[in-house]
Every structure is written in structure tokens, then in C-alpha cells.
Amino acid sequence: MAFEAEKTRQENAIIKAQKQEIEHKNIQLQDTIDELTITKVSRRAKAITLFIAVALLITEDAIMHFIISPYMHENFFFTLLANGLVVILLKPIEKVVEHYLLSRLVLNRRKRAG
């Protein structure tokens, strides 16, 4: 009977160690999934930001051509300043888009879980 009790304790110890290893692997796997998800969202945010940049540059060019140009007669520095402003705004726009996409992803996961 003592032999059976010792054998059961050893088996329980092995099972407990295996359970801890599985939990550790699950945490590592979830971390990897989270990193891949963030990378995917970041790429999507970059693509959306690129689309926004093109739209802003087209809008800026139209404004320059039809509204400002008749009064300023091709002011190169004003156009350069406007284009520079669009370029400077790209990173903050990307961060806002990325934050929006991540928050939407978290909301969708909570809806599925709940």
C-alpha cells in the first residue's frame, strides 16, 4: 500500500510538472499570437494611412490649384509647406488609425468571449 501511495505521489508530481509546462507553453503561444495580431494591425494601419496621405495630397493640390493659386501665383514655398505639413501629420494619423483598429479588435474579442 505504501508503494502504491508513493507511486501515486510521483505520478501526481509528473502530472503537475506537465500541467505547468503546458500553461507556460500556452502563455508563450498567446504572446506570439498577440505579437502577430499587433503586426497585422500595424500593417493595416500603414495601408490606411497611405490611402489617407494620397487623399490629403490630392485635396491639397486641388486647393492650391483652384483656390490659392489665383491669388498667390504659384508660390513654391507655400506648396512645399502644405506638402510638408501632410508628411508631418502622417505618423500621428497612423497612430490614431492603429489605436482605432486595436480597440475595435479588442471589442470584437470581448463580444465573442461574452
pLDDT at residue 15 tops 90: yes
**How confident is the model over 16-43, as pLDDT tens digits?**
999 999 999 999 999 999 899 999 999 9
C-alpha cell belonging to residue 79: 506648396
The closest of 45, 59, 35 to 92, measured between CA atoms, is 45
**How confident is the model over 76-109, as pLDDT tens digits?**
787 888 889 999 999 999 999 999 999 998 888 8
The closest of 29, 51, 32 to 40, measured between CA atoms, is 32
Round to whole Å and give the CA distance between 59 and 87: 14
Number of structural domains, the chain?
1
User: What pLDDT, on the 0 to 100 scale, is given for residue 89?
Assistant: 93
Range of the domain at 6: 2-113
Q: How many CB atoms lie within 10 A of CB 49?
A: 20
User: What pLDDT, on the 0 to 100 scale, is given for residue 79?
Assistant: 81
CA dihedral 41, 90, 66, 72 (to 10 degrees): 180
